[in-house]
């Protein structure tokens, strides 16, 4: 998981440098996106024993998390 987190942080750094994202500290933004994902696809399963997300739920969660993130940070 660490390498994926580093990859998302790197992506944000490049997008910031390119002017595609609003100014934000990349690690902070990476943590926000990670928290959105883990709030549905990690903590409920670990803390309350909920079943893993179905492929359809995974897609819905991922698309929604990215849409929320980009809706706030993306420069149009």
- Tens digit of each residue's pLDDT (9 = 90 or more) over 26-75: 888 889 999 999 999 999 999 999 999 999 999 999 999 999 999 999 98
Distances (CA, A) of 32 to 47, 54, 55: 20, 23, 23
Give the pair of three-digit tokens for residue 64.
Answer: 């929604």
Q: Where are the domains of the chain?
A: 2-73
pTM of the model: 0.75
Give the pair of three-digit tokens for residue 19.
Answer: 């002017």
Superfamily of domain 2-73 in the CATH hierarchy = Tetracycline Repressor, domain 2 (1.10.357.10)
Give the pair of three-digit tokens for residue 24.
Answer: 């934000």
């Amino acid at each position: 998981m660490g390498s994926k987190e580093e990859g998302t942080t790197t992506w944000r750094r490049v997008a910031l440098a390119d002017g595609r994202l609003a100014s934000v500290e990349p690690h902070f933004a990476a943590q926000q996106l990670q928290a959105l994902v883990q709030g549905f696809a990690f903590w409920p399963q670990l803390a309350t024993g909920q079943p893993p997300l179905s492929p359809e739920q995974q897609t819905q969660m991922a698309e929604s998390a990215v849409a929320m993130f980009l809706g706030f940070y993306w420069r149009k």
